Amino acid sequence: MKNLLNNSIFTNNISNFRDISFDNCNNEYLIDENYSIHSNSAINFDDVMKEHVLSFGITDKSLKSVDSVIFSEKLNKIFFIEFKNGRIEVPETIQRGNRQRRRINRLDIEIARLKLELIRTKVKDSITACCEIFSKNPDFFRENCYFILVYNENKNSCIIPDSLDNPGFTSLLQSFSQISQTRFHKFGMGVLEKLCVDEVRTFTPMEFEDFIINYS
């Protein structure tokens, strides 16, 4: 399966985790020199998507894309990777209050939902492009690909796993997750599992580093 990434559209767009994880808005790297994997080679999938779309004579950003793609030798899987250095807003329940406040809350919730949907759209659009590049159907990605979202834990410290609403369990759940290898999804990304990809992982940079060292 690794030979699928030998296509020139991938080999011409090789970079590394440090550069791919660069956050233009905050002028900082999510995977900086503090992480041993910062110089690991990785495909800049944003550039792949630009090249792919341009081959159809389209110059606008018609399709969204994840940040990177790599191949895992140990798992024999393709990883689609998205780096989010900023705050990932999660829709919250509207609190009681005056009408103006409720309107503001509804707007905030809708914006948060759209931002989360944008991440999911990046995965779906990336798979759409790869279906053509690889000459594979969607079932291939459901069986052979992971989606990994790497987020800044300092800006998202209150986030708890999907479908859980008691912050007091977060630490305990994470401990159980490490012991049992159970995966808790965050930011509503679990919906992509089995629908678009085989597995979904949400990692802090340190967790991502450990995962790449062990499984890439």
pLDDT tens, residue order, the chain (216 aa)? 889 999 999 999 999 999 999 999 999 999 999 999 999 999 999 999 999 999 999 887 779 999 999 999 999 999 999 999 988 766 655 455 555 555 557 777 787 788 889 999 999 999 999 999 999 999 999 999 999 999 999 987 655 555 444 444 445 445 444 433 445 567 888 889 989 999 999 999 999 999 999 998
d(CA 190, CA 169): 19
**Lookup: tokens for 178:** 């490490």
- Closest to 66 (Cα-Cα) out of 123, 133, 150, 4: 123
List the domain boundaries for the chain: 2-88+122-215
- Closest to 3 (Cα-Cα) out of 122, 135, 105, 91: 135
Instruction: Please state, as a whole number, how many other Cβ atoms lie within 10 Å of the Cβ of residue 28.
Output: 12
* The model scores a pTM over 0.85: no
By DSSP bridging, strand 28-29 and strand 68-72 are unpaired
Give one DSSP letter per residue of 156-209, joined into a string.
STT---TT---GGGHHHHHHHHHHH-PPPP-TTGGGGBTTTBSEEEEE-HHHHH
d(CA 87, CA 93): 18
